[in-house]
A and B are shown apart, each in its own frame.
Chain A
Amino acid sequence: MTKLIINGVERSVSVDPNTPLLWVIREQLKMTGTKFGCGMAQCGACTVHLNGKPIRSCVMPLSSVAGQSITTIEGLAPNETELHPLQQAWIQEQVPQCGYCQSGQLMSASALLANNPNPSDSDIDNAMQGNICRCGMYGRIKKAIKSAASVEYALNAESADQLGAVTQYDPKLASNAGEQAHG
């Protein structure tokens, strides 16, 4: 049995500890908002937060995240009646087309804003470079991030708390995460 804290709730799974976190989330926990796109940390569709930091769950073995705090798209909104400012901005800017990559885009963007409430264009480019959108909505994504960043900071601060503060950088985790090779 491996324990995980998913969106603040402790869950136990009984599965090969080498299984990538993505498939544990999708198949064992039946939370399907996190998507499979490439299986080699190239597209970002599977992005979730590990202790507040964005990782590619398709290459992250379950054993590396045991006992730690994971946030998925299902846990991004602060509560059941309210959306995260980025989700609101996504609707406002009519960002998604097919929508398949958007969970990953939102998780990368929310990790960015949690650390950097007022990102520059190049900050946004750097944070989002690991997320492919084949519908090509990069302009709208960038606009939505800026728009969310400009709303009341209190909301951002609240959601950052909700996601958990960024923990110490762990190089072992980062290498497991197969950090994005920029294309």
Chain B
Amino acid sequence: MGKWTRRGVITSGVLLGGGLLVGVALRPGHRAPALAPMVASDDESLVNAWVKLSPDNVTTVIVPHSEMGQGAQTALAQMLADEMDADWNLVRFEEAPAVAEYANYALGKGVILGDAQIPDIMLPTVDGAFLQLTKALGLQITGGSSSIRATGVLGMRVAGAAAREMMKTAASETWQVPVAELTTADSHVIHEPNNMRAKYSELAAAAAELTPPTRPLLKEPEAFKIMGQSVPRHDIPSKVDGTALFAMDVHLPDMLYATVQRAPVFGGKISSVDDTAARQMPGVVDVIRLDGGTQPAGSLGTVENGDAISVVAEGYWQAKQGLSRVDVKWQNSVSNAVSSDTIFKQFDTDLTEKIGRKTDFVVGDVAEKFAKADRLVDADYQVPFLAHTCMEPLNATARITETHCELWVGCQNPLGFRNAVAETLGMDAENVTVHNHFMGGGFGRKANPDYAIQAAKIAAAVGRPVQLIWSREEDVRQDFYRPAVMSRFRAALDAQGRVQAWENTYVDKHEPVEAPLVPYSISSQDIGHVASTTHVPFGAWRSVDHSQHGFFTECFIDELAHAANMDAYEYRAALLKDKPRHLAVLQKAAEKANWHSPLAAGRGRGIAIQESFGSLVAEVIEVSVANGDVIVDRVVAVVDAGFAISPDGLIAQIESGIVYGLTAALYGEISIENGAVRESNFHDYEALRMAQAPAIETHIINSGADLGGAGEPGTPAVAPALANAVFNATGNRIRQLPLKNHYLRDRIDENDDVA
């Protein structure tokens, strides 16, 4: 772990349960000097690692999270600025450089401590300890909906409050008045008795000399001025006039363009290459073979990638034309025989044999309940692989000298990318500089550095700066996919149809661990999984395992409601009596959607609730089914994220998560044929478009619970609410997605599944 500093020792004491409390968000004696040259310009005072003041009294918040559209940078700036009593009109923000000092402790906490609970009283102080620990792990990840609930709560607010206290202390010493007589507002310290007033910037130099407070006092919600307000996002003006810079917008002198094709069958090796025709194409500069094998993958550890061919040219289009003329023969492997059918057959076999089944959660005596059951309900559910299809195809620009590498990229894990590229090039990480840009979508895909590694290798091979741009086809066919999953359920019912036991086994477990758990009070449960690996590479996809398990469990509970001859909402509510937060969200969704109002023939309504990343979301979806097609008419969502820092930002994230989930539930399917992905672009891997987009209304509950995430929790409830609505409208129980594969014209009663 390296040598601990004095303060590092103190904070590690917190980890071990000791009582020493140190405000490590502010440590001028330790981190600030190292960070100062990276983020401070001349005349700027670095008040602490996450906030700086310039002479014009502008507060700049340094945000250790990337912007992929989720608005987190604005919300994080709100948290810091409010605690600091900064004038919002004088607040700017910038993304933290990809250096170890900004390693993101939120995910590190999970890695190191698992679910270990930190006592609340210590929460505001442990960030630095995790920062120390995660430095070693190289995490600076934007994902897991963690920005607000971890960085914001543990870092931004503490840093802002500490900065404010330091301003007051500095004023107190300068003016020789008691701190208690000082107040702060709008980036000023005020001493009313003497009618004195100073800009923060006037006190910044003095404040920076102070020892930071160990436990700055955070505001109570009643005192929030900026938190809880829907402030306009700072990044939006540049996104309406074409000036926002994405990584692909970088132009370097002498730069070439490249595109790439990796082995269509995952893990494939090149057998032979004939690039004669390609090299004769106008503009083509080089054809480069990129060896696959084990590669660093940031937070995923390592991945096995196939070989690839890259064509480098004067322009992207020429590179693409050239690539189509390269004659590559790929080696055959056992994976060539794999198809979606063989994969789902394998899942079915593994679920039946249950070899090495691991338990997620067990309570009660499941076997006994099944032995005594009056009725059983069972069902198999499955979902296909999904690609991310960010609007911006993957791209990275690299410039390499003998000793240094500069990388222009839009990614969710700049520090992980830096380390991965450094490892690939055999350089020290300090010699790799990452310029992280706005991402044109991320959704989990841009946490994997494979495309940056390719760009670095290509630039190294041609000896000139190279911008690597993937075609959309490559983006669809070389993703790290949301895994296909099959999930098997069995429930025991008593004579009145009440559920006595819940048994669930599924394949392929990832994160988060709690995704398959249900909130319902069912006295006996046995939930577990079996391994059933495929050659299709895995990646985090918006809400990760919640997106599959939300569909499975919230549809199966709907089946149990139906089996009990109960209303789908009333049934859930009855089983959530002991979960007031869940119940409030569910009730509000039903109320806002007029759950009990009658619907015309051919229309249906479905409900679902899923807790994910600390937020609770219930959704009611209304559909019309006509001529075999489903039309999604309306989505009503209720979200409890504890407290909405930026209500409109939270609403926008929920809307976005809903449309992302609808695209997946209606159309999303990556199918495997002869070991490779069949789909290739938006014509066969469709996305929801405006005419298909439903009216969405989102309601917020500020329950005061710990802050939850926003980017992902809108997605998991979509597929089950939609499938349950289709059942309500047609009697078709949808147990396999996507819906486009189902023929819904005839009303089919699937009660024959109930034993």
Q: Which A positions have Cβ atoms within 8 angstroms of B? A: 15-16, 19-20, 23, 27, 30-40, 42-43, 45, 72-74, 76-77, 83, 87, 90-91, 94-103, 106, 122, 124-126, 128-142, 181-183
Contact = CB atoms under 8 A, between A and B. Distances in A.
B484 to A, nearest CB: 21
Contacts of B257: 27
A132 B689 contact: yes
B232 A94 contact: yes
A141 B696 CA distance: 13
B696 A19 contact: no
B691 A129 contact: yes
Given A91-B237, A94-B648, A20 B317 contact: yes
- Chain B interface main SS type: loop
A137 B353 CA distance: 45
B655 A139 contact: yes
Interface stretch (B164-172, B194-202, B386-394, B588-596): B386-394
Closest 10 CB pairs of A and B: A33-B242, A136-B659, A100-B440, A99-B239, A98-B69, A97-B69, A73-B242, A32-B249, A138-B693, A42-B682
Given A97-B71, A125-B691, A183-B686, A72 B315 contact: no
A94 B652 contact: yes
Contacts of B238: 99
A131 B440 contact: no
A36 B662 CA distance: 24
Contact of B69 (A36, A45, A96, A142): A96
B693 A16 contact: no
Contact of A133 (B391, B443, B657, B683): B391
A35 B239 contact: no
B316 A37 contact: no
Q: Which applies to chain A's interface (DSSP): helix, strand, loop or mixed?
A: loop
Given A91-B232, A97-B652, A97-B656, A125 B690 contact: yes
B392 A87 contact: no
B586 interface: no
B155 interface: no
Contacts, number: 192
A135 B656 CA distance: 5
Given A32-B249, A133-B391, A98 B242 contact: no
Nearest to A27: B315
B656 A136 contact: yes
A40 B206 CA distance: 59
B392 A83 contact: no
A134 B687 contact: yes
Interface of B: 68-71, 232-233, 235-246, 248-249, 251, 257, 282-283, 315-318, 320, 389-393, 438-443, 469, 471-472, 648, 652, 655-660, 662-663, 681-683, 686-691, 693, 695-696
B241 A42 contact: no
Nearest to B70: A97
B393 A36 contact: yes
A35 B440 contact: yes
A99 B283 contact: no
Contacts of A76: 241
Nearest to A108: B690
B15 to A, nearest CB: 36
A129 B249 CA distance: 26
Contact of A137 (B246, B249, B656): B656
Given A19-B315, A42-B683, A100 B693 contact: no
A98 B439 contact: yes
A16 B239 contact: no
Given A91-B240, A96-B240, A134-B390, A43 B682 contact: yes
A71 to B, nearest CB: 12
Given A99-B69, A99-B440, A135-B441, A183 B682 contact: yes
Given A33-B242, A73-B241, 18 more contacts: A16-B318, A23-B317, A36-B393, A37-B393, A40-B682, A42-B683, A43-B687, A76-B241, A95-B236, A97-B69, A106-B240, A134-B687, A136-B662, A137-B655, A138-B690, A181-B683, A182-B691, A183-B689
B660 A33 contact: no
25 contacts: A15-B315, A37-B472, A40-B681, A43-B391, A72-B242, A73-B242, A94-B648, A95-B240, A96-B236, A97-B71, A98-B439, A99-B69, A99-B440, A100-B246, A122-B691, A124-B690, A132-B391, A134-B687, A135-B441, A136-B657, A137-B656, A138-B690, A182-B689, A182-B691, A183-B686
Contact of A35 (B233, B392, B652, B693): B392
Contacts of B246: 32, 35, 100
Contact of A98 (B316, B438, B688): B438
Given A91-B232, A94-B648, A136 B316 contact: no
Contact of B441 (A32, A39, A40, A134): A134
A93 B438 CA distance: 20
A137 B616 CA distance: 22
A182 B686 CA distance: 10
Given A37-B391, A99-B235, A100-B440, A137 B242 contact: no
B690 A129 contact: yes
Contacts of A141: 690
Nearest to A74: B242
B393 A87 contact: no
A98 B241 contact: no
A35 B315 CA distance: 15
A142 to B, nearest CB: 7
A16 B442 CA distance: 34
B283 to A, nearest CB: 7
Contacts of B439: 98
Interface centre among A15, A16, A100, A181 (most CB of B within 10 A): A100
A133 B655 CA distance: 12
Contacts of A27: 257, 315-316
Given A35-B440, A99-B69, A134 B243 contact: no
A137 B438 contact: no
Contact of B236 (A38, A90, A130): A90
B612 to A, nearest CB: 18
A112 B582 CA distance: 44
A135 B681 CA distance: 17
A83 to B, nearest CB: 7
Contact of B239 (A15, A102, A130, A183): A102
Contacts of A40: 472, 681-683
Given A27-B316, A132-B682, A37 B392 contact: yes
Given A23-B315, A94-B236, A139 B686 contact: no
Contacts of A36: 248, 316, 393, 469
Interface centre among B282, B655, B688, B691 (most CB of A within 10 A): B691
A126 B658 CA distance: 22
Nearest to A136: B659
Contacts of B472: 37-40, 42-43
Nearest to A90: B240
A19 B652 CA distance: 38
B391 A137 contact: no
A88 to B, nearest CB: 8
A15 B314 CA distance: 10
Contacts of B686: 183
